[in-house]
Amino acid sequence: MQAALDFLATEFPHLPVLLGGFSFGSWVGLRVGCADERVHELIGLGIPVNSTDFAFLETCNKPKLVVQGINDEHGAWEKVEQTVAHAAGETRLVFVQDADHFFAGQLDELDKAITDWLLEHHPELQKS
**The predicted structure's pLDDT at residue 8:** 94
Asked if residues 99 and 76 have their Cβ atoms less than 8 Å apart, the reply is no
pLDDT in tens, 75-122: 999 999 999 999 999 999 999 999 999 999 999 999 999 999 999 999
**The predicted structure's pLDDT at residue 127:** 85
| 124 vs 15: CA distance, rounded Å | 14
pLDDT in tens, 48-75: 999 999 999 999 999 999 999 999 999 9
pTM for the model stands at 0.96
- Gyration radius from the chain CA atoms: 14
Which residues, other chains included, contact 76 with Cβ-Cβ below 8 Å and sequence gap of 6+? 49, 50
Cα of first residue to Cα of last residue in the chain, in angstroms, is: 35
Helices of type H across 19-67: 24-35
116 secondary structure, DSSP code = H
Q: Which domains does the chain have, with CATH numbers?
A: 2-125 (3.40.50.1820)
